[in-house]
Structure formats: C-alpha cells, structure tokens
Amino acid sequence: MTKPIGDDELDRLAEIAAQLAARVRDDDPEVVGRWLGSELPNPGEWWRLAFVLAAAVPIDRPFAHLTAWVRTAAVERDEVIEQRRAVLLGDHIEQVRTAA
C-alpha cells in the first residue's frame, strides 16, 4: 500500500499539475516532457501526479467535451487545408478550362 502524501507534497503536485495543464496547451510535447522530467525525476512522483490530475477532472462531462480544444484545432486546421486545396485546385481547373 502506498503511504498517503502530506499537504505540502499535495500542494507541490497540484502546482505542477496546473503548470502541466497550461504547458500541454502551449508547448511542444518534447519540451513538456523534459520539463516534467526535471520537475518530477522519480517515477513514483509521476504515479502520485496521475491521481492529483485525475482528481481535478470533472467526471460529469464527457471526455470529448474536455478535450474539444485539441479536436477543434485539428478540425479547423484540416478545414483550412481543404479550403486551400479547393482554391488551388479550383484555380488549376480554371486554368485548364481556359487553355482548352
């Protein structure tokens, strides 16, 4: 059985969890991983951090809703790519039509 953590350790893990949440949204995953490894070099600390993070997740909302910011960015990026393709292909098709 794992021993309970004290208030000071819980506060430290909560601070790291908050920073991690912000960094995941703003930074490159490799950079975030290096930062987290420097903050919590002991794998046991990662285990405890997982529980602190899980405790902070609202369980009354679907996972897709909680992670919509990731999905929305990807969908918007894909939509922009498709719009650019349409413009490029549309221009190309128009050029072929006028040349014929």
pLDDT tens per residue, range 60-94 = 988 888 887 777 665 666 676 677 667 666 654 55
Grouping H, G, I as helix, E, B as strand and the rest as coil, residue 32 is helix
pLDDT at res. 11: 95
pLDDT of residue 94: 52
Q: Which two tokens stand for residue 41?
A: 């070099």
Dihedral of alpha carbons 34, 75, 73, 63, sign: negative
Q: What's residue 90's pLDDT?
A: 66
Taking residue 27's Cβ as centre, other Cβ atoms within 10 Å add up to 13
Mean pLDDT of the 14-42 span: 93
Distance CA 89, CA 12 (A): 54
CB 80 within 8 Å of CB 72: no
Provide the whole-model pTM: 0.65
